[in-house]
Amino acid sequence: MRVLVTGGAGFLGSNLVDALVARGDTAIALDDLSTGSRTNLKPGVTLRVADVSNEAALYQAVTGQEFEVIVHCASKTKVVESMEKPELYRRVIVDGTRNIIALARDRRARMLVNISTGGAIYGETPTCATEETNTDPPSNYGKFKLEAERLAAAAPVPTISLRLG
């Protein structure tokens, strides 16, 4: 299987790329390298550099690349910074997800996996959160991740959002 991993040079994305390659899949990493690093990727992994919130750059970066599945890990992740820089976080998380959904549609991807967050969406809970727990994101990071999940749920391709953390 050919898989495009956004945020592919970051912590989570690069570990996913390693796992995909280890099982015999072809992984293509897409990253803007704002926090990720080429050194996180093993030799032979294709890296395309682009910001997911820049639609033109995103499409240019994947020109000529074939993939069946997109795993969308790209994100800004600092809760406190999300309160200080809401425009940046909205652009990367919400607009970036919108662009990835469009790419999945346009390239006829079989599946889109959206990596979300757990704790930042639920806020403080007295017990472990479940799917039935009300969402109450106290930070912009959580609010934007929840908005991205809603976009993903309405995507015109089969999509799943994973709440990690």
Closest among 144, 151, 145 to 104, alpha carbons compared = 151
27 three-class SS: strand
141 belongs to the catalytic site: yes
- What secondary structure does DSSP assign to 47-80, as a single string? EEE--TT-HHHHHHHTTT---SEEEE------HH
Q: How far apart are CA 28 and CA 17, in angstroms?
A: 8
- Find the catalytic residue in 59, 89, 122, 141: 141
Q: What is the DSSP letter of 134?
A: P
- The residue length of the chain stands at 165
Residues involved in catalysis: 141
